[in-house]
């Protein structure tokens, strides 16, 4: 943008309501980071196979294709503060139950899978409410900064602090990690209650007729499919998530002893911390970087990062190469989420924010359960490296397809807004 200092950071306060949402997001995501780290370790502790460990990842994301549209409809019709408070409290109860089952020595893979499904359903509601609440408490000019702050917080709590903290606590007992995660979900409720959020004027609390309800459920999907920029970014996100699903579900098997890298649980936590460091740095610098090198180049960087996430394992590289790839991938992933999220918010009517987000997430995350399960099957039949080789080939193909789209699309205009403009595509 002409006349702007590309490296200028704007630390402007975004208001009390956003700060409450920010705090609640931080506490809940620290709980998320610990829970997501420890659930696969619990599966290993109950002697699950590589396929069983991958099934935990699949179960965590199963709710998006099955419940995603309903989550968006619910978020657009109920008070966001009440919803976020209730769901975070429910997540605390689920992790408390897992902790009790482990201490009583009755925990099994089926129980872990049930807990993962419930946490996945909760995530559809919380994530949809979070992204659709930001535009209700932050003006358009501040949304990119708000998204960057939320993304930085998620990286610090969910990935930077959560895994090593969970690994440290798990060194004493896995129950300590799950119990701390449960307590953090409850703490998040306090931050959420600070918010004052007005519902969009178009929302209605009256129960709709059956036909009207079906129309409302798919309204976000219809808008997404008509909005070519959001639609195309959603499809590319889905393709990259196939790669990420294989990597995330199987990396723990490759990295943690008796896997090839032979890491301890604490060392694996540090590996994930390296990925979070990349994401944190990127989320802090995304705004000055966007002004300096542009939205298009930044989003292409994420597609490159996806390749570098899986290629080192496919090539049987050492721990330092694997860690370097994870750092770059973490940086690219943060950039993508911030910029794609801002584009979606700017191109969506306020009354459709929840449903548009859930429709987008249903597509982009709907591929994860099947992809994680397929990756587990490939690993069982032909070995871990074969699964990562296949993921690397797909990542390269996605990169080759995304670059031409990004170069002919004015993604910068979509990030700047305004909300009711569709970013032009130049042939």
Q: Tokens for 208, please give them.
A: 């709709």
List the structure tokens of 396. Answer: 């390269």
Q: Do the domain assignments include residue 174?
A: yes
pTM above 0.85, yes or no: no
The reported pLDDT for the residue numbered 212 is 55
Distance CA 100, CA 105 (A): 9
Range of the domain at 76: 16-416
- Flag whether 3 is in a domain: no
On the question of pLDDT at 172 being above 60, the answer is: yes
Question: pLDDT at residue 62 above 90?
Answer: no
For residue 200, what pLDDT band results from cuts at 50, 70 and 90?
A: low
Q: Tell the residue number behind the tokens 């990259």, with chain if given.
A: 240
CATH of residue 182: 1.20.1250.20
- Which two structure tokens, joined as six digits, stand for 40? 């696969």
pLDDT tens per residue, range 364-378: 877 887 888 888 888
By mean pLDDT, which of 84-93, 311-320, 352-361, 400-409 is the weakest? 352-361
CA nearest 252: which of 262, 243, 240, 242? 262
The pLDDT value recorded for residue 239 is: 92
In a domain, 8, yes or no: no
In a domain, 2, yes or no: no
Span 385-389, mean pLDDT?
91
Q: Does residue 40 have a pLDDT over 50?
A: yes
The residue written with tokens 């002893």 in the block is 257
> Do the domain assignments include residue 192?
yes
Burial of 364 (0-12, 13-18, 19+ CB in 10 A): buried
Number of domains in the chain: 1
Residue 425 included in any domain = no
Per-residue model confidence (pLDDT) at position 6? 39
In a domain, 1, yes or no: no
pLDDT average, residue stretch 180-197: 86
Would you state the pLDDT for residue 312?
92
**pLDDT tens-digit map of 204-239:** 445 454 445 556 667 777 888 888 888 889 999 999
């Amino acid at each position: 943008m002409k006349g702007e200092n590309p490296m200028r950071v704007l630390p402007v306060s975004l208001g009390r309501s956003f700060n409450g949402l920010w705090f609640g997001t931080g506490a809940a995501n620290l709980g998320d980071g610990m829970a997501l780290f420890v659930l696969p370790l619990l599966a290993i502790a109950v002697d699950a196979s590589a396929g069983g460990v991958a099934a935990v990842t699949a179960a965590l994301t199963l709710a998006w294709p099955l419940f995603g549209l309903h989550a968006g409809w619910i978020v657009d019709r109920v008070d966001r503060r009440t919803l976020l408070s209730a769901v975070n409290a429910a997540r605390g109860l689920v992790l408390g139950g897992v902790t009790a089952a482990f201490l009583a020595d009755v925990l099994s893979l089926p129980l872990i899978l049930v807990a993962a499904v419930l946490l996945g359903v909760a995530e559809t509601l919380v994530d949809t409410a979070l992204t659709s609440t930001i535009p209700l408490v932050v003006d358009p000019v501040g949304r990119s900064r708000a998204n960057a702050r939320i993304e930085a917080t998620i990286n610090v709590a969910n990935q930077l602090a959560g895994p090593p903290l969970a690994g440290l606590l798990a060194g004493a007992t896995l129950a300590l990690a799950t119990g701390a995660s449960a307590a953090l979900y409850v703490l998040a409720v306090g931050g959420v209650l600070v918010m004052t959020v007005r519902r969009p004027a178009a929302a209605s609390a009256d129960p709709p007729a059956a036909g009207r309800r079906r129309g409302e459920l798919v309204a976000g999907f219809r808008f997404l499919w008509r909005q070519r920029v959001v639609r195309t970014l959603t499809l590319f996100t889905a393709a990259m998530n196939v790669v990420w699903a294989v990597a995330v579900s199987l990396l723990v098997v490759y990295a943690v002893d008796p896997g090839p890298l032979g890491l301890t649980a604490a060392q694996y936590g540090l590996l994930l911390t390296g990925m979070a460091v990349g994401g944190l740095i990127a989320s802090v610098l995304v705004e000055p970087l966007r002004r300096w090198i542009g939205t298009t180049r930044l989003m292409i960087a994420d597609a490159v990062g996806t390749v570098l996430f899986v290629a080192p394992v496919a090539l049987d590289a050492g721990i330092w190469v694997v860690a370097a790839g994870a750092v770059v991938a973490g940086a690219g992933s943060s950039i993508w989420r911030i910029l794609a999220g801002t584009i979606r918010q700017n191109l969506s009517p306020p009354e459709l924010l929840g449903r548009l987000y859930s429709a987008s997430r249903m597509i982009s995350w709907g591929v994860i359960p099947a992809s994680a399960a397929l990756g587990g099957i490939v690993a069982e039949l032909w070995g871990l490296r074969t699964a990562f080789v296949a993921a690397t080939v797909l990542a390269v193909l996605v990169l080759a397809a995304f670059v031409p789209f990004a170069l002919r699309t004015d993604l910068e205009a979509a990030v700047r807004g305004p909300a009711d403009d569709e970013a032009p595509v130049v042939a």
